[in-house]
Structure 1
Amino acid sequence: MSILVIGAGPGVSGSVARRFARDGHDAGLVGVDEAQLATLGEELAALGVAAHHEVADITDAEACTAAVRRLAERLGRVDVLHFNPSAYREADPLTLTVPQLLQDVTLGVGALLTALQAARPSMAAGARVTATGSMAADKPAPGVASLGVQKAALRNLVQSIDGALRGDGIRAVSVTVRGVLAREGAFTPDRVAEAIHAAAHQDEADWRTEVPYSG
Structure 2
Amino acid sequence: MSKPVIVVVGAGPGVSGSVARRFADEGYDVALLGADQAVIGDLVPDLEARGATVGHAVVDVTDEQAARDAVRRFGEHTGRIDVLHFNPSAFREKDPLNLTVVELLEDVALGVGALLTVAQAARPYMSSGGRISVTGSMAADDPWEGAASLGVQKAGVRNLVHSLDKTLAADGIRAVSVTVRGTLAREGAFTPDRVADAIFDAVTRDAGEWTSEVAYRG
Interval containing the TM-score (normalised by the shorter chain)? over 0.9
Q: Does 1:48 align with 2:51?
A: yes
- The CA RMSD measured in Å over matched residues stands at 0.6
Report the Cα offset of residue 74 of structure 1.
2.1
Q: Deviation string for 1:76-98 (max 9, x for gaps)?
A: 21000000010000001100000
Pairs within 5 Å for 1:154-193: 154-193=157-196
In structure 2, what is the equivalent of residue 6 of structure 1?
9
The share of aligned pairs that are identical, in percent, is 63
| Counterpart amino acid of residue 6 in structure 1 | V
- Which amino acid is the alignment partner of residue 107 of structure 1? L
CA displacement 1:117-171 (0-9 Å, x = unmatched): 1111100000000000000000011100000000000110000000000000000
Contact 1:21-1:27 at 8 Å conserved across structures: yes
- Per the TM alignment, residue 206 of structure 1 is displaced from its structure 2 partner at its CA by 1.9
Q: Does 1:33 align with 2:52?
A: no
1:109 aligned residue (109, 112, 126): 112
Residue matched to 1:69:
72
Give the TM-score normalised by structure 2: 0.97
Q: TM-score, normalised by structure 1?
A: 0.99
On the 8 A contact 1:28/1:75 being kept in 2, the answer is no
> Could you list the runs of 5+ residues in structure 2 that have no partner in the other structure?
none
User: 1:143 maps to what in 2?
Assistant: 146
Q: Is the 8 A contact 1:91 1:144 kept in 2?
A: yes
Provide Cα deviations, 1:90-118, integer angstroms capped at 9, x if missing partner.
00110000000000000001000000111
SS in 2 for 1:88: coil
- In structure 2, distance between residues paired with 1:22 and 1:110: 30
SS of match in other structure, 1:143? helix
After superposition, what is the alpha-carbon deviation per residue over 1:179-209, rounded to whole angstroms, capped at 9, x for unaligned? 1101100000000000000000112112110
User: Is this contact kept in 2: 1:162–1:171, CA < 8 A?
Assistant: yes
Question: What CA distance in whole angstroms lies between the structure 1 residues aligned with 2:37 and 2:77?
Answer: 18
Ranges in structure 1 where 5+ consecutive residues have no aligned partner: none
Per-residue Cα deviation, 1:2-27 (whole angstroms, up to 9, x for no partner) = 10000001110000011011111000
Write the distance in 2 (CA, Å) between the matches of 1:79 and 1:152. 25
SS of structure 1 residue aligned to 2:145: coil
Contact 1:140 1:148 in 2 (8 A): yes
Question: Structure 1 residue runs of 4+, over 4 Å off?
Answer: none
Give, as a single letter, the amino acid of the residue that structure 2 aligns with 1:128.
R
Quote the Cα distance in structure 2 between the aligned partners of 1:192 and 1:51: 22
1:95 paired residue number: 98
**Alpha-carbon distance in 1 for matches of 2:162, 2:112:** 13
Distance 1:46 1:208 in 2: 34
Query: Offset at 1:39?
Result: 1.4
**Aligned residue in 2 for 1:199:** 202
Q: How far has the Cα of 1:75 moved from its partner?
A: 2.2
Moved more, 65-74 or 39-48: 65-74
